[in-house]
Amino acid sequence: MNNDPLANALSAVLNYELAGKKEIIINPSSKLILGVLRIFNTHQYVGEAEKVTDARGGFIKLHLLGNINKCGVIKPRFSVGWQDFDKFEKRYLPAKGMGIIIISTNQGLLTLDEAREKKIGGKLVAYCY
């Protein structure tokens, strides 16, 4: 039984990336996993994420591009205000402006830069560079 499906999914994506694979099937699927993968897609870290439904809840088919150096979840999911974003950017990213941090807000999943523009805080979810 999976305690953290998002962590398992991002770990599998990183392992497949490092092995040079072109496609991965992520099971189980959830809206959070699909949302994180869609943000990765908009920033060109992964290809298209497609949700396939079957009798057991479905799975996600993801095309890999080979652009990920490291990705993972942020545990515990820190609550952070928009004024404190720099501290976490220094902690999880190798350099300022290199990579993305995904934050869960009351307006949905956003990157740290989008949340900074809107001046809203939330809970840190994942990072990728």
Residue 88, both tokens: 């976490």
CA–CA distances in Å: residue 25 to residues 15, 68, 115: 13, 17, 30
Question: What pTM value is reported for the model?
Answer: 0.93
Same domain, 120 and 86: yes
Domain region containing 116: 74-128
Distance CA 36, CA 41 (A): 9
Instruction: Kindly tell me if the per-residue pLDDT of 1 is higher than 80.
Output: no
pLDDT of residue 105: 96
Q: Calculate the dihedral angle through the C-alpha atoms of 103, 60, 9, 128, rounding to the nearest 10 degrees.
A: -50
pLDDT averaged over the chain? 94
pLDDT digits (tens, 9 = 90+) for 36-54: 999 999 999 999 999 999 8
pLDDT digits (tens, 9 = 90+) for 52-83: 998 888 999 999 999 999 999 999 999 999 99
Q: What is the mean pLDDT of residues 114-126?
A: 96
- Helix (H), strand (E) at residue 98: none
Looking at 23, 43, 64, the residue that finishes a domain is 64
**Number of domains into which the chain is organized:** 2
